[in-house]
Amino acid sequence: MQMFKKVINIIIDVLIVIMLIISAAVAAMSLTSRQDGISNLFGYAPLSVQSDSMEPTFEQGDLIISKVIEESTVINEGDIITFNEDVGGAQFVNTHRVIKVDESGGIAFYTTRGDNAPKDSTETVSKIDVLGVYTGTNLKGVGNVYDFLTSQLGFFLVILLPLILFFIYEVFRVIRNLMEYNREKAFNEAVETASANNGGLSEEELKIAVEKYLAQQAKEKEQDDVSGSLDIQLEDNGTNADDTEE
């Protein structure tokens, strides 16, 4: 039974560490998105695929990893890039393959198209709008999980709520361990006292003496609590009497 409790405690501790790591990663990516325009961790951005425009390279529901570009990043024809796209005045993030590279006024422009899109369905973007380059890492079906985890409801149910429950459990475990420590300490003190006052007792007699000692200690503590409660009541009654006389 004791071994089972230890195993459970180890599993819970490991889960707490995993939850804390995930929470820290999500928080870090949330902060970096304000600086780089895309959520990333150490320069690598997980992106959930929202359409089938890039089939068969990756599909809707996949999770792909893109490398956040720097000023020195060179983008070539055939690379798959993630970029900001303006659709009806709203900003969207899109990921398509570069089919042509041009330069005008010292600025690079990329003609892109989805692998599964018609030949005339292209978008041209400048390097200013490019956010990242696809690394080739594709986690099949994980994009849906990522979308849920990064939503407010998913983060609360999967990360925040378990952390709150684990915290409550840890507080309970600390209190329980403290109570066990106090009981063990009281028992050891009782053994020492019984041994000093009753030298030469057998093991059974020593056990009985310890039990009597602990019972006496509990009885004295109960009497002290009752006495303290009576003193408080008497003080309250005295205060009420003084107030009445005034």
Q: Is 76 inside a domain boundary?
A: yes
Over the stretch 53-73, which tens digit does the pLDDT of each residue have? 899 999 999 999 999 988 888
Tell me: do 77 and 132 sit in the same domain.
yes
Query: Which residue segment(s) compose the domain that 110 sits in?
Result: 43-140
Same domain, 124 and 169: no
Domain count of the fold of the chain:
2
Residue 98 has pLDDT above 90, yes or no: yes
Cα Dmax for the chain: 102
Question: Distances from the Cα of 197 to the Cαs of 183, 191, 194, 220, in angstroms?
Answer: 21, 10, 5, 19
| Per-residue confidence (pLDDT) for residue 109, from 0 to 100 | 93
- The residues near 62 (Cβ < 8 Å, ≥ 6 apart) are 48, 49, 138, 139, 140, 141, 142, 143
CATH number, residue 86: 2.10.109.10
* Residue 4 pLDDT grade (very low, low, confident, very high; cuts 50, 70, 90): confident
pLDDT confidence of 99, banded at 50, 70, 90?
very high
Task: Give the pLDDT score at 213.
Answer: 66
> Are both 47 and 119 inside the same structural domain?
yes
Q: What pLDDT score was predicted for residue 244?
A: 36
Residue 204 has a pLDDT of 66
Residue 118: the pLDDT is 86
User: In the listed set 75, 109, 140, which residue is the last one of a domain according to the structure?
Assistant: 140
User: Do 55 and 136 share a domain, yes or no?
Assistant: yes
Residue 25 located in a structural domain? no
Question: Would 211 be classed as within a structural domain?
Answer: yes
Same domain membership, residue 120 and residue 63:
yes
Q: Whole-structure pTM over 0.75, yes or no?
A: no
Task: With H, G, I as helix, E, B as strand and everything else as coil, classify residue 49.
Answer: coil
Asked if residue 172 and residue 129 are part of one domain, the reply reads no
Instruction: For helices 2-36 and 142-150, give the axis angle rounded to 10 degrees.
Output: 80
Residue at a domain's end among 140, 172, 202: 140
Q: Which of 18-22, 85-89, 138-142 has the highest mean pLDDT?
A: 138-142
User: Are residues 126 and 174 located together in one domain of the fold?
Assistant: no
